[in-house]
Structure 1
Amino acid sequence: MGTAFDDLAFLAGSENRPAVLLAVTERPHTRDELEAETGASRVTLGRILADLTDRGWIRRRGRQYEVTGLGRLVANAYKTFFETMETVAQLKPLAPWLPVEDFGFDIDRLEDASVTVPTHSDPLAPYRRAAHTQRQASSLTVLTNATAPQNIEVIWRRTTAGDLTIDAILTHDVIDTIQNDEQMASMFRDILASGQAEIRRYNGEIPFIVAVADDLVDIAIADEGGLPRGLIQVVDEEVRSWAEQTIARYREQSMELSVESFTG
């Protein structure tokens, strides 16, 4: 029945073909159920069912169509491939700035990640998404080379209310910026005075922003000029382990700050 490429081209050539195969892989379907579920016309569906049957991927049993062992193998492989391509599509806008060489995990661990990118109407979308996460979390560990007033305000409100504990490592440039802004400096004095936070200064370069908020890992991507290009968020044990180890490595080389560190 042709080559493996022919079979792949057959599936990829129509949204309805894999939809039908995946549907009957989940459970047997009648023709009417498949028509309703996929939205394919009766003529199109009839042709797809005939083609899938000819390939030995499905069979008819009474009024229902069910997957064969071979068809299940094809369906599972296609589903994995499709999910991978969805991940590629999500990450594609960030490709020029993704520090893949710094990731201590396989990129396919981001398969279930959500990606937030800035838009013309909302250039600060990644910061807003991070702030949303910070409003929901009970603990936050962060390594950062940048900061934003809206994120600091969320952290200030939640730590002073006793709702959030934070362990943060900031570059010397970020600390200097905060110290030279009285409003932000005042917030950091309150944050440290709350007893809910530990703030540390790292006297070197940090290549990217990474945070662990409860079980969620945030990886913020910026361009060469420091402009935000996207926020990757994922719940994955391997990615979390990498994030925690990365933060711990910088933590060992950082200096803990006190309330007085933010007093002019």
Structure 2
Amino acid sequence: MDRVLAEMEFLARSANRGDVLTLVAEAPHDRQALARETGASQPTLGRILRDFEERNWVRATEGGYTATATGRLVAAGLTELSESLAAELHLREVSEWLPTDGLGFDLGRLGEATITTPTQTRPSAPISRVIELIEAAHRVRIFSHAFNEQTLAAVVEWVADGGQFEGVFSAAAIDAVAHETGLRGQLQQLQAADRARIRVIDDAIPLAVTVAGDTVSLLLRDDDGRLQAAVDTDDPEVEVWATDRHGRYWESARPLAESDLAIDD
């Protein structure tokens, strides 16, 4: 383990080392090309290449320096670590609210996601972002454990303008709506629309996910249910996961009935 840590430290001490190894793993490069692409001086490149040759990570060829099999192995790991750390840094401000279970995709896929958080001047910014995505789409699919009055009102209006909506909600979410007169009326209006279909699932739904066209949005809440962020991405792998998860919930759910919105006296 000490030797592994020593090699990691060796690479981490100079950004040029990682850049050079990645470049020669992609294609042969001579020293002039490496200097142009990395900005490193020739003396620095000489030291780096000698160190790499001692480790048998690179070799000199007629076409320039190229990575060996083990050099490509290290370069691939370095790239993966770099991408993972970049994703973690991007998600760090919302990491405590990301679900530990329920995400069926590599979290690194959110490394370039759009993150929208509440501010003093725009406390409902995450909801506004989701509504913006909904209004730009022709078809929207949702699976969620909660309703938001602002979002529900926007969906009702969007469906009236021709949008196609398919939502799966937990029974707990429907029950909460049944006890809010305004929300109940909006949901009944949505249920009556020709282009909207709503289903109910008795099991818990751990996430609030919206698939608006090709974009997937996750609403993140804290332990007290307060909305903390919206995270949206058009990454294809995330879209496949969200579409598949929605389909699974849809198949196991039942259509929303008027009795679901009845209030016991």
The bucket for the TM-score relative to the shorter chain is 0.7 to 0.9
Whether the aligned pair in 2 keeps the contact of 1:171 and 1:202 (CA below 8 Å) is no
CA distance in 2, matches of 1:62, 1:40: 22
Shift of residue 11 of structure 1?
1.8
Shift of residue 132 of structure 1?
3.3
TM-score by length of 1: 0.75
Q: What does residue 5 of structure 1 align with?
A: 5
Q: What does residue 171 of structure 1 align with?
A: 174
Which consecutive unaligned segments of at least 5 residues does structure 2 have? Answer: none
Q: CA RMSD in A?
A: 3.5
Q: What does residue 207 of structure 2 align with?
A: 208
CA distance in 2, matches of 1:163, 1:213: 11
**Are residues 1:180 and 2:179 paired?**
no
Distance of aligned partners of 1:219 and 1:225 in 2 relative to their CA distance in 1, 3 Å threshold: same
Whether the aligned pair in 1 keeps the contact of 2:118 and 2:126 (CA below 8 Å) is no
The size of the alignment, in residue pairs, is 249
CA distance in 1, matches of 2:77, 2:220: 31
Q: What does residue 230 of structure 2 align with?
A: 231
CA distance in 2, matches of 1:204, 1:65: 58
Q: What does residue 27 of structure 2 align with?
A: 27
Whether the aligned pair in 2 keeps the contact of 1:210 and 1:217 (CA below 8 Å) is yes
Shift of residue 208 of structure 1?
3.3
Shift of residue 168 of structure 1?
4.4
CA distance in 1, matches of 2:94, 2:197: 31
Q: What does residue 67 of structure 1 align with?
A: 67
Deviations, residues 206-237 of structure 1 (Å, cap 9, x unaligned): 54312333454433210123222233445423
TM-score by length of 2: 0.74
Which consecutive unaligned segments of at least 5 residues does structure 1 have? Answer: none
1:112 pairs, out of 85, 109, 129, with 109
Identity of paired residues, percent? 25
Distance of aligned partners of 1:69 and 1:223 in 2 relative to their CA distance in 1, 3 Å threshold: same
Secondary structure of the residue that 1:225 maps to in structure 2? coil
Deviations, residues 143-178 of structure 1 (Å, cap 9, x unaligned): 3313152x345433432222433334243224544x
Q: What does residue 220 of structure 2 align with?
A: 221
Deviations, residues 118-157 of structure 1 (Å, cap 9, x unaligned): 15465444323322332343322213313152x3454334
CA distance in 2, matches of 1:147, 1:248: 24
